[in-house]
Structure 1
């Protein structure tokens, strides 16, 4: 068999230099960029963890806010029942005339005086004149205040009822403004 010849020293040095160059190329092209990517990924991960820590209390607040929203929606529905979105004039007139008839009142005048625009609601003002005795007038106002819809009586004036030249001792003529409210959306 052929005897192995020793590798010359220059070749060993050249191989060592090539090996070092290969290791340097491997490190500079693979490991060094990977270290930068790892550092960037670690920074991104820590940023996401800090965002998560900030969002956890907000996530807990969402349930509370959803409950509050549900409560406010119920309150809005209840308010819309008491403050309708539309004027509903025919129903309003029927309910007022039926209420006056229930207390044996003579509804002389019911006319629209105008609409006052508000920030959240509109006020519909009606002029009314009724003839009735004092107790029925009081019952009328009491029931008016108990109605589902929110209404207000203002500028009330009462005088003894005079029909021609006859003055009736037990009858009053009541002039007032009835204000009905509608919700503004």
Structure 2
């Protein structure tokens, strides 16, 4: 005759309950329709949805970092463009240029007797805006004037330089004390003109001091 369950040794009862628990858990996980099985299915589905989202988030982080890098590059290029537009502007801006040259002369102690604009010269990618200048002053002041023009915001080329000593009587203006050099030269600056055809600069612009 079979021994009643209650009379089983305690360790056999413990093993029985343990085995029963394992069976119930496995049944709950794998038998369709049971609560644990539904939770397991939902968990797996959530994990499957999470993986592509994690991948997408990782890609977005890369794009965000790349966007910051591109923005920094664009800012640097904008600054370079602004600098280039100052050095070689789109328009002639002849009046502003003449004022810059006159200030450099006054600061350097040089007298500009005449400043005459010449016809604009068209090149492939830019335009040349030349001026002829007649000036006089102390020798070292004239040198300082040329140095100051080299530090102006716009590019300036100096050519056709003809200097003479005032002792030779070459000067035709009343000169300031200490003046030792007089002469003429050409200065040329540049502009891009914004894609418009060049127009001849008005001749005979005079500036006297």
With structure 1 as the length reference, what TM-score do the two structures score?
A: 0.57
Determine if the alignment matches structure 1 residue 176 to structure 2 residue 181.
no
Determine if the alignment matches structure 1 residue 83 to structure 2 residue 92.
no
CA contact (8 A) 2:136 2:179 kept: no
Bigger fraction of residues in strand: 1
Determine if the alignment matches structure 1 residue 93 to structure 2 residue 102.
no
Determine if the alignment matches structure 1 residue 152 to structure 2 residue 157.
yes
CA positional deviation for 1:121: 1.4
Q: Distance in 1 between matches of 2:179 and 2:154?
A: 31
Which secondary structure state, in structure 1, belongs to the residue aligned with residue 180 of structure 2?
strand
5+ unaligned residues in a row in structure 1: which ranges? 1-58
CA contact (8 A) 1:120 1:184 kept: no
Q: Distance in 1 between matches of 2:134 and 2:70?
A: 49
- Structure with bigger RCO (C-alpha 8 Å, 6+ apart): 2
With structure 2 as the length reference, what TM-score do the two structures score?
A: 0.51
Partner of 1:117: 122
Q: Considering only aligned residues, what root-mean-square deviation do their CA atoms show, in Å?
A: 2.9
Q: Distance in 2 between matches of 1:106 and 1:156?
A: 16
Q: Distance in 1 between matches of 2:138 and 2:109?
A: 9
Partner of 1:138: 143
CA contact (8 A) 2:165 2:180 kept: yes
Deviations 1:53-112 (A, max 9, x none): xxxxxx9xx978887666544322221011111111222222211221122222111000
Of residues 88-97 and 166-175 in structure 1, the stretch that sits farther from structure 2 once superposed is 166-175
Superposition map of 1:3-152 within 5 A:
71-152=76-157
5+ unaligned residues in a row in structure 2: which ranges? 1-62, 195-209
Which secondary structure state, in structure 2, belongs to the residue aligned with residue 156 of structure 1?
strand
Q: Distance in 2 between matches of 1:171 and 1:76?
A: 42
Q: Distance in 1 between matches of 2:70 and 2:125?
A: 23
